[in-house]
Every structure is written in structure tokens, then in C-alpha cells.
Structure 1
Amino acid sequence: MSDAAQPTAAEVRAAAEAVKTALDRHLAAVERRSGEDDPAVYEAFNQLAAAAEAYDELLYDRYDEVTPFEIPAAEDSLPPYAGPEEPNGISVLIRRDYAVAEPQRLRAQAQRVEAADHDDGEDAAGTVHGALGILFGEFEPDEIASRHKEFGLEEGDSTLWVTAAEEPAEPGEWLEAPFEHIDQQRVVCRFDVSAVFDDETDDGDDETDEIDELAEDLDEDEDLEPLDADR
């Protein structure tokens, strides 16, 4: 970062003061907690997380220094549930990301479907976006998820949210904007899948492997002849 783009010392100091203020507000909210899922505590937590992140970034940009603590980002957790106790309807929101790892395989699979379903010489499968339209029109999303490698796709992150509603939506009510106006306080549960979690598990496995190797070394040492205590 250039000197001209660096934050001033005053900006870093102001960010530090904002963290102190957010800490006081968070403690006050915790002391006044009205229940396990008090929204005031949740809001104060988010404000503290945002203030700490801003200070950390400014501190690094100005002084090439970081803070010794890390506060989870607000999006890492859901707010307290505030939906109906007995919902009469639910919405299941699913997002699955894929990388088009093998475009040729993708188009070949789509061409097979196209050849079986069409006799008019269309060639929609000749492009990647056309092939995707054919395959997702032919197969259910769950089937594509289970057979993604056959279609030249590579899995990315995915998430599934279940949200509660007072009443089921009317037919066609949300079709124009299906993913807008999602109230996170009506999310009953969510399930996330990401390679990030696999990396964390792998790190734990590496530590376990190191411990196992150390144990093996100790076992080998036990085979050595013990020293004579009289020497």
C-alpha cells in the first residue's frame, strides 16, 4: 500500500476507541441479558466484531501490526430465532456452487441428452451455458450433485437453509425474486459444506499423525538396553 493510501495515526486511534466503546456496550448487554438468545447481546457482539475487524485492518495498514485476538465474523452464526413457534409453512433454500472443471465432458454429456430428446438438429450443447441448461433441465439437482464428476463439474461450497413461515406462500407469490427478503431470524436450521472445514480437519489429522509418530519413536526407544544405574 502506498503512503498516500495509508490511514492516519488519528484514524487508527479512533478505531481503537471504537473497539473500547463496543467492548463496554457488549459487556453491558451481557450483564442485562434477558435470556440465552437475547437479541441485544447478539447485536452488541456484531458491533464488537465489526469494530475489532476495522481496527485490525487499519492497524495493519498503518503499522504492519495485528491484534492478538480474533472475533468470529457476524455471518458465522445465525441470530436468535424469532419466527413462529408453530409454523404452518417452511421454505428450503439451497445453494450449491460448482466449477466447470471439464467443459468437454460437460458438453459431451449434454450432447447425449440432446441427441436422445431432439431430432431437429439443434446444437444447444455446443456451448457451456447451453450444455448446463440441458443437463439441469434433464436431471434433478440432487442427481447432479451425486454425479457431478460425470458432468465435468467440481464441487464448491454449498448451504441449505430451512426458514419458517406463518402461512405457506401463495402460488407464484415469490417467483420474480425468490431469494430476496430472507429473514435470518426465521431460519430454523442451516447446513453448510465447504472445503474450509476439510482443511481444518486435515490440520487436526496432521497433528494426530505427529503424535502417532512420536509414540512410535518412544516405542522403539523402549527396545534399547537400559543404562546401568551403577555406572
Structure 2
Amino acid sequence: MSAVTITILMIITAYLAGSISSAILVCKLRGLPDPRTEGSGNPGATNVLRIGGASSAALVLFFDMLKGAAPSYFSYVLGQDAVSLGLIAIAACLGHIYPIFFNFQGGKGVATAFGAMAPIGGDLALCLIATWIVFVFLTRYSSLAAILTAILAPVYTWWLDDRFTIPVAMLSLLIVIRHKDNIKRLRIGEESKLSRKKKASTEHN
């Protein structure tokens, strides 16, 4: 099987894996409201935190990261080059953003993108997690923390293992683009801060 064929198969696999909406499934299993119709309307860990609490959000976060990490790691094991790894990781994120199994109504893809970066190394994963936590603590804006962490991710990667700077930069660009509406609200002071079990919110992260 040629390298191109493997890349195409992994892109399809990554997209299908990304299309499994952890937020919707966890909410159904726990008897919670559909995250697409409650809170911010975004099926992601941040919105599940608002409507279902920390334990439900943690489950969503774990599985959203896993569906980004697994395709990226297996693609690396199969010997895919840096650009192919980036395309495969983006496919997983696009599956999360536009899930074929859930009427193409998905989330921002932040956890899936960071999950795809995590197999590069534990040191990078720790840097990403620590950066996000610090910015959330300082600003209380989940969206701003995600944007700033995404911007710093290629810098961390270049410092820790520059072989993967290109695919990480590709993922970071996707995250920033997906937060364009959040950036507009941040600029005019209309972005909502992170809170738990808040029934209504204008933050879409």
C-alpha cells in the first residue's frame, strides 16, 4: 500500500473518529439536556461544564482529546510525514466541527486539536495544559485561553521537537479561525466569562 493511500485512509478514519460527538453522547448517557440546545449551544466540554458540571465536562474533554490523539499517533507509527500528519489531525478536528453523524453541527475543535498535538510528547502536552489553565485563571475567558494557547503551541513545538512545527501550526491556525466570532466579542467586551451550570451564555467555545 502506497504512502498516499495510507494518508487518504487515515484522513477518512480521522474525520469519522472526530465526528463522534462526545458532548452529545455524554449528555444523553447522563440524562442532561442536548448541548446543542442549551447554554451556548456548542457541543463541547466548556458548554457541558455549564449544563452538567465538572465530571461530565471532564469526560467530554478526555474523549474529545482522544479522538484527536489516536489518529495522529497511529499515523506517526505508520511513518506519515509532517504535512500528512497535519492534514490527518485537521481531518479529526473537521470531524468534530462538522460531524457527519450529528447533522454537521459540532464544536470548536479545541480539545481535539490539542489531543492531536499531545502524542508529540508529554512535555508539550503539559505546556499546553498549563498555558490554558493559567490564561483561564487570569482572564476567566475559555475562548481567549484557547486562542492564546493555540498561538503559543507552534512556539513550544519548535522549542521541544521542531519536526512537528508545521502540523502544529496548521492546527493552531484552524483553532484561531474557528474563534473569529469570539475574537470579535472579546474586542467589544461582549464575550461571557467561564462559569459552571450557567443556563444561558453568549460564549461559544
Which of the two has higher C-alpha Rg? 1
Interval containing the TM-score (normalised by the shorter chain): under 0.3
Q: Going by fraction, where is helix more abundant, 1 or 2?
A: 2
Q: TM-score, normalised by structure 1?
A: 0.23
Q: TM-score, normalised by structure 2?
A: 0.25
Q: Going by fraction, where is strand more abundant, 1 or 2?
A: 1
